[in-house]
Structure 1
Amino acid sequence: NPYPIYCAVEKRCFSHGPLEGQWFELTPHEAGFTELGLFVHTSLLDSKFQRGDLLEKKPAMDMVRLQGVLGCALAHEDIIKGFIPPWLNVPGLIDSAAEPYLHVYNALSNLIFLIRSIVKDPAALTDLDQLQQDLEAKVSCDQSELLNSKSQEERRSLFQQWNLELLEVAQNWSQNLENTTFKSHASFLTQQILPLVIKWEWGTTSNFLYQYQDSSVPACLHSAEIFHLIDAGMLINVAYPSFLGDKRDIDLIIAQEYSAGNMFETLTLARDYADEVMKPFPEIDETILKDRDFPKDCYVLEGKGKEPTIVYMPLFNRRNCKDEEDFKAKREEFSTFQLPFSQDKIQSLLEIAKANIRNNREALLAEMRKAALRRQSKRI
């Protein structure tokens, strides 16, 4: 099996700090900040540290929680912008007090979306529509005048109260459902899961760099007792940063591009990242970028010196799409936010990905041979 490297971005540094404090990675052996070169053993990730000393050792997080912490796009404000009611979406009202309220509403809306994607019963779908309407009615009630008259602490208390009221809306909804199997499932979610949603700070874990005595640690990490880790895709949706530079000394990166957004965007973002942290990265021929609306199935960015070679392979491309319109349609069909994929869709994606590898087998083998020779020459 391949060696797993999970990646995330630290929220505070991502919003207000230097790039060196942003990229976070976790392996079976260590967890920490790639550019700072500061890590702890993975089993100590949630333990309490101060000034580099271990104060309280906590049980190692299991894989389910680790994946939840490291994959939490919900922790970043950009994700919740679409859930801000108009009365609240004005300067001065969106602050640290409002964010938890919006996160909870976001989580409830996403939960409804996910349930809707697997429920087929028309009556249950109608019930879900009613819950969505009840929640929207609650958050649409203009409270701006009340908020403007309150202090920061009073506003925080108000938002906490409104969080509980959102939970109450969901609980009342589930209690009023007819006695069916759907009601039992809905009751479990509203009684057991949603209270945890209210309390949970998305993507948080203890900060092992809290008050750590090292000038390289930025203020966004030094002064906080907890990390706020968010999905690494908020910065770059392919984990190039973990594989650049001397630490892993990579000769060849095979990047199968499955990201949403503009084609080649992850590649150019990685180039800019490497430039800022002064790590080698192969040159990107600007003519390649002109293919973004209908890319080929394989591009080779040949590394020189310490630069890795990158084989860039778009999932959808000129070989498996008829034209630009078909390319656009395929990307839309398999877009990210439509969970869950059916088994047929999953199988289709697997076959497309496997075909891309088969179709470029010779090119891949050629680059592997070159990488092996480069590695051999470094040892001489």
Structure 2
Amino acid sequence: MGLSTSSYQQMEPSPCNLLSVKVIRMKNLRKADLLTQSDCYVSLWLPTASVKKARTKTVKNSKNPVWNETFHFRIQSQVKNILELKVCDEDDHTPDDHLLTIFFDVSKIQLGETVRLNFQVNPQGKEELEVEFTMESSPDLPENIATNGVLVSREVSCLEVQVDEGRIKKGSTERKFALTVEGSYEGTQNLSLSSCLCPASPARFHYIKYNHSELGIALPKMRQLSVTSSSQDESESLTLALNSLPIQDKVTIGETRTFDLHVKTKEWTQGLFNSSRKLDVRLGFDLCTEEQNFLKNRKKVVAAALKKVLRLEEDLKDHEVPVVAVTTTGGGIRALTAMYGSILGLQKLNVLDCVSYITGSSGTTWTMTNLYEDDDWSHKDLGELIIEARKQASKSKMSAFSLESLKNYHRELSQRTQAGYKTSFIDLWGLMIESMLNDGKDEHKLSDQQQAVNWGQNPLPIYLALNVKDNVTTKDFREWVEFTPYEVGFLKYGAFIRAEDFGSEFFMGRLMKKLPESRICFMQGMWSSVFSKNLLDAWHAADNSEDFWHRWTQDRVTEIEEEPDLPERPHEMATCMYTPAGGISNALRDILTDRPAVSKYHSFLRGFQMHNEYTQHEQFSKWKDTMLDSLPNQLRHTAEHLELVDTAFFFDTSYPPLMRPERKVDVILHLNYSGGSQTMPLDRASTYFSEQGIPFPKPVLNEEERKNLKECYMFEDAETPGAPILLYFPLVNDSFQRYIAPGVERSASEIELGKVDVSSFYSPYSTREVSLKAQDFNKLLKLTNYNIQNNENLILQALHAAVRRRKQSQTQSPSQAQSSS
């Protein structure tokens, strides 16, 4: 079942402008050489307008170099355009020295203005760069773009390169040459010419229509060739500016053969499934149509269940039905087992039908994917599922490492690579999970789970991962990515694709190449990718403070002033100067931030640019929590792949999808299965959401309570509109030691069964374990089942409070009601 196309964004016209940048001079330039002044030049890069960098000439041995060179850029007015002015010292025998880079937000220049600025890069040394900017209207037609206020999808053109073969002399051989359009979806393509009569197929490139793009033609290098064209240019390569096309030029290679090269551009009117007027990536922060329909159906189930468990006399009206969610944390085989017990307890209390969402990460995703293979699992006796889970948890895992299994893994990974995926050790880990938790191959896929939620018969499952960068720590950069049976998307960007399209290739919001949907084991490997930690992640896990290594591996980005002062607007980025770390620091950073393994999937954000006012967007601001969020050129670079890891690399949580205001969650049951401190995940969640300005109840626990935790705590913040009611279930063995069931004391012979070690170093439930003995599985299952059932009163109290809140919100003003909901 695909997503309805009506939820996908249409293209709308938006004007482009012409920006002229005149690099005038630099004063009091620092010395980069020991004996002479710097041999200085300035490179200019505006990645939203051109993939190529421009540069001035080099002024030799000068403290006050003068250039007076002008460069022109065509820019989209709704895009965040950050110009990078890089000052370099040219060296003949070694790489050029990078002295500094200035980041300048060109939206500070108003249409029709010419402004000359002096950038104060070192006020003490009176070092400054003088640049003049002019902004004019473009005579081009407005560009068709789509935007949600955070991301911008721009108009795409299609370039066709057709080769018609000419006369072929005797003895001629096959010729190969490369065609390149930097920044295009295709990048580089190779064409072969031979003596066969079949004409070569045209090469096609998709690129941003209004970018400064070029077609590079690298000719064969089998031997020295004389290359001529009708323009009499002699070279082994050609470069054609695409903004001057269509072009038809005759190119002659040596004396052995001749071919005609036909190049033309055209409007890209037809994508793989949709026309260019409609995107395949949904840009928007609202819930997709399918999830909205799910909620309508689920509300009927929840209303009936609440009437029963709360013993209400009347049916609840639609607006009186609260949204209840379960959130879980990871912990490998421990989390898998414990979650079965908790779900069983909720089912026995008839509370499971009151739940609309279940979120998971790491080990709990193993339980969830198993549950959702049954279209009606929450209304069936879970006994059979639990028996099978116990069997898989307790069996020997050695077969997962047998020679036969390794051969199967190799074959599967080879097939995955051939299908177009970039495989890694994490994919192998996924296959090992499948082998350890199943008796055979599991063909189940994420989108198959739609059948389990389409009629609202079960809660909607949401899985969570982090997108990271290879050379940056998780502490400094991460982005929440949620997975439902309907969609996969980024909370921060409001960008979503169909679940069945995850892993396929996209460009500028268009689906370019459909890949077969991954089997669920590969998703499990990615959601629990415990092998993706780098050395700095490990260091931060041990010491959360700013540390020596972190300080000494960072480049410096500092705000600088320009003269004269320009009027400031909230969405404009402050002018900054970037000073690179030294060579030793860069080498150290590469070592410390290298990830031994990471799950890589084709990025469906590829090509998107940031909206000019993205930092002011309310939803982006809620999830704006990393150092790169204010550096758009680094935030949305040209990376072809997402790098996805377990959320525990930041902190062990699956809360974020439930904190989206569109889901309007009233009650959250936090089932904690983390190892170590049982209060740390809750404390970190509370601190994080407080810093983000997201309503969340503050967990108040004194030191004595933290040392001797009970089975459940209820936290409510009536003073903060929109804050959910929170029921927190730490993984502890409290009254279970004395009671076999709520109100039923253990006999002397049953005391031993109540001793469940869930916290010591020697606990059988350590995260590092991949197997559990059957008796240990049963103990943990019964413990978490008991902990839920023994706190029925608190659960019902929270549900009563949520219903009461919903009813009260209808008596308030519309604005108050909206905040409360």
Question: TM-score, normalised on structure 1?
Answer: 0.63
Per-residue CA distance 1:77-128 (angstroms, 9 max, x = gap)? 159969xxxxxxx98467369947xx3xxxxxxxxxxxxxxxxxxxxxxxxx
Q: What is the alpha-carbon distance in structure 1 between the residues aligned to residue 773 and residue 787 of structure 2?
A: 21
| Cα distance change of structure 1 residues 79 and 213 upon mapping to structure 2, 3 Å threshold | closer
Counterparts of 1:147-186 in structure 2 under 5 Å? none
Per-residue CA distance 1:49-88 (angstroms, 9 max, x = gap)? 1222222121222211122222212122159969xxxxxx
Per-residue CA distance 1:26-53 (angstroms, 9 max, x = gap)? 0001111123322111111111112222
Question: Which is richer in helix?
Answer: 1
Q: Does 1:236 align with 2:651?
A: yes
Correspondence for 1:275 among 658, 682, 690:
690
Instruction: Give the secondary-structure state (helix, strand or coil) at the position aligned to 2:662.
Output: coil
Q: What is the alpha-carbon distance in structure 2 between the residues aligned to residue 302 and residue 43 of structure 1?
A: 38
Q: What is the alpha-carbon distance in structure 2 between the residues aligned to residue 330 and residue 76 of structure 1?
A: 22
Tell me the equivalent position of 1:299: 713
CA contact (8 A) 2:599 2:645 kept: yes
Correspondence for 1:208 among 604, 607, 610:
604
Tell me the equivalent position of 1:2: 459
| Cα distance change of structure 1 residues 78 and 344 upon mapping to structure 2, 3 Å threshold | farther
Counterparts of 1:64-79 in structure 2 under 5 Å? 64-78=521-535
Structure 1 position 328, deviation (Å): 4.0
Counterparts of 1:5-84 in structure 2 under 5 Å? 5-12=462-469, 15=472, 22-78=479-535
Structure 2 spans left out of the alignment, 5+ residues: 1-457, 540-583, 615-628, 739-755, 812-821
CA contact (8 A) 2:469 2:477 kept: no
Q: What is the alpha-carbon distance in structure 2 between the residues aligned to residue 98 and residue 367 of structure 1?
A: 44
Q: Does 1:352 align with 2:783?
A: yes
Structure 1 position 274, deviation (Å): 1.0
Instruction: Give the secondary-structure state (helix, strand or coil) at the position aligned to 1:95.
Output: helix
Q: Does 1:329 align with 2:786?
A: no
| Cα distance change of structure 1 residues 225 and 97 upon mapping to structure 2, 3 Å threshold | farther
The structure whose Rg is larger is 2
Instruction: Give the secondary-structure state (helix, strand or coil) at the position aligned to 1:224.
Output: coil
| Cα distance change of structure 1 residues 95 and 222 upon mapping to structure 2, 3 Å threshold | closer
Q: Does 1:319 align with 2:715?
A: no
| Cα distance change of structure 1 residues 18 and 54 upon mapping to structure 2, 3 Å threshold | farther
Counterparts of 1:212-227 in structure 2 under 5 Å? 212-215=608-611, 216=614, 219-227=634-642
Aligned sequence identity (%): 27
Q: What is the alpha-carbon distance in structure 2 between the residues aligned to residue 378 and residue 61 of structure 1?
A: 43
Q: What is the alpha-carbon distance in structure 1 between the residues aligned to residue 722 and residue 692 of structure 2?
A: 15
CA contact (8 A) 2:731 2:758 kept: no
CA contact (8 A) 2:536 2:592 kept: no
- Which amino acid is 1:346 matched to? F
CA contact (8 A) 2:758 2:765 kept: no
Aligned length: 271
Task: Point out the more displaced range, 355-364 or 260-269.
Answer: 260-269
- Which amino acid is 1:229 matched to? L
Q: What is the alpha-carbon distance in structure 1 between the residues aligned to residue 683 and residue 472 of structure 2?
A: 20
Q: Does 1:247 align with 2:662?
A: yes
| Cα distance change of structure 1 residues 331 and 17 upon mapping to structure 2, 3 Å threshold | closer
Q: What is the alpha-carbon distance in structure 2 between the residues aligned to residue 366 and residue 72 of structure 1?
A: 38
Per-residue CA distance 1:299-354 (angstroms, 9 max, x = gap)? 111132210011001121432469xx977438834221111112222221110001
- Which amino acid is 2:605 matched to? L
- Which amino acid is 1:292 matched to? R
| Cα distance change of structure 1 residues 372 and 242 upon mapping to structure 2, 3 Å threshold | same
Q: What is the alpha-carbon distance in structure 1 between the residues aligned to residue 498 and residue 641 of structure 2?
A: 17
CA contact (8 A) 2:530 2:646 kept: yes
| Cα distance change of structure 1 residues 312 and 15 upon mapping to structure 2, 3 Å threshold | farther
Query: Higher RCO, 1 or 2 (CA under 8 Å, sep at least 6)?
Result: 1
CA contact (8 A) 2:466 2:479 kept: yes
Instruction: Give the secondary-structure state (helix, strand or coil) at the position aligned to 1:280.
Output: coil
Task: Point out the more displaced range, 201-210 or 224-233.
Answer: 201-210
CA contact (8 A) 1:13 1:21 kept: no
| Cα distance change of structure 1 residues 70 and 328 upon mapping to structure 2, 3 Å threshold | closer
Correspondence for 1:362 among 793, 798, 803:
793
| Cα distance change of structure 1 residues 282 and 13 upon mapping to structure 2, 3 Å threshold | farther
- Which amino acid is 2:796 matched to? L
- Which amino acid is 1:308 matched to? P
CA contact (8 A) 1:297 1:318 kept: yes
Q: What is the alpha-carbon distance in structure 1 between the residues aligned to residue 600 and residue 644 of structure 2?
A: 6
| Cα distance change of structure 1 residues 377 and 59 upon mapping to structure 2, 3 Å threshold | farther
Q: What is the alpha-carbon distance in structure 1 between the residues aligned to residue 478 and residue 678 of structure 2?
A: 27
Q: Does 1:95 align with 2:590?
A: yes
Task: Point out the more displaced range, 20-29 or 292-301.
Answer: 20-29
Instruction: Give the secondary-structure state (helix, strand or coil) at the position aligned to 1:329.
Output: coil
CA contact (8 A) 1:294 1:317 kept: no
- Which amino acid is 1:255 matched to? H
Q: Does 1:310 align with 2:767?
A: no
Instruction: Give the secondary-structure state (helix, strand or coil) at the position aligned to 2:512.
Output: strand
CA contact (8 A) 1:6 1:25 kept: yes
Structure 1 spans left out of the alignment, 5+ residues: 83-89, 104-200
CA contact (8 A) 2:668 2:726 kept: yes
Q: What is the alpha-carbon distance in structure 2 between the residues aligned to residue 240 and residue 254 of structure 1?
A: 10
Question: Which is richer in strand?
Answer: 2
Question: TM-score, normalised on structure 2?
Answer: 0.30
Instruction: Give the secondary-structure state (helix, strand or coil) at the position aligned to 1:255.
Output: strand
Instruction: Give the secondary-structure state (helix, strand or coil) at the position aligned to 2:763.
Output: helix
Q: What is the alpha-carbon distance in structure 2 between the residues aligned to residue 226 and residue 378 of structure 1?
A: 44
Q: What is the alpha-carbon distance in structure 2 between the residues aligned to residue 260 and residue 10 of structure 1?
A: 23
Q: What is the alpha-carbon distance in structure 2 between the residues aligned to residue 235 and residue 11 of structure 1?
A: 10
| Cα distance change of structure 1 residues 236 and 16 upon mapping to structure 2, 3 Å threshold | closer
CA contact (8 A) 1:7 1:239 kept: yes
Q: What is the alpha-carbon distance in structure 1 between the residues aligned to residue 526 and residue 496 of structure 2?
A: 17
Structure 1 position 361, deviation (Å): 0.8
Structure 1 position 8, deviation (Å): 0.6
Q: What is the alpha-carbon distance in structure 2 between the residues aligned to residue 326 and residue 251 of structure 1?
A: 33
- Which amino acid is 2:732 matched to? F
Q: What is the alpha-carbon distance in structure 2 between the residues aligned to residue 66 and residue 221 of structure 1?
A: 24
